[in-house]
Amino acid sequence: MPGSDATLAARAVIWDLDGTLADSEDYHWLAWQQVMGDEGIAITHDQFLATFGQRNDTVLTGWLGADASEAHRDRIGEAKEAAFRRLVGTRGCVALPGALDRVQRLGPRGWRQAIASSAPRANIDVMIEALGIAGDFDAIASSDDVTVGKPDPQVFLIAASRLDVPPSRCIVVEDAAAGVEAARRAGMPSVGVRANGEALEANVFARSLAELGDTAFDRLLDGK
């Protein structure tokens, strides 16, 4: 089949964003505190951490209860994301150690790259623009594109399709157990990155992207 050899030779890295490339946790916490406080609901930091990286509809069903209407959840979720974007816009966005260097060196070496995040597309655009890496990605998949969140593999499979790279030739980089599980279900090898807490059950685990050797992704995908 024409083009099949090129497709088989293609390789890609699919990145989670929040907590993997960007240190955005505090902004999400502040935004959730604000909007839930406006609703008269106090949330603890532990509650926030337990839901970090999940879709807003899942988070808000847990915090508001199953009786909350979809319109109510949507309104609060949209307010939270708007608050988050304002924080990024006014305070900037900090990349996690090794993130920018890794992203900017992969493209010239023939790797295709995508973002696959539980965040809305508007958040992703604001964050990667603030980080200065908007031009390094060939595709983006966001919560706007899926009907179910991680650990369902849908967002990763959409990203791979947009990259035109088979799932088995895509490496996922994640900071959350749900994301690592989503990669496994998608048939993609994974790199887990988490500075604190328990190690992730990924194919490769590191406390920082800066710890990974220059050929870590090559070895994971091709054994070289």
Place of tokens 């070895």: 219
Please tell me the total number of residues recorded for the chain in this structure.
Answer: 224
Which of 16, 74, 138, 152 is labelled catalytic?
Answer: 16
Indicate if 57 belongs to the active site. no
Which runs of E-coded beta strand occur in 117-221?
139-141, 170-174, 190-193, 204-206
C-alpha to C-alpha distance for 200 and 175, rounded to whole angstroms: 8
Indicate if 16 belongs to the active site. yes
Per the CB < 8 A criterion, the answer to whether 141 and 116 are in contact is yes
Closest alpha carbon to 177 in 17, 52, 45: 52
Which of 5, 18, 125, 175 is labelled catalytic?
Answer: 18
Which runs of E-coded beta strand occur in the chain?
12-15, 112-116, 139-141, 170-174, 190-193, 204-206
State the catalytic residues: 16, 18
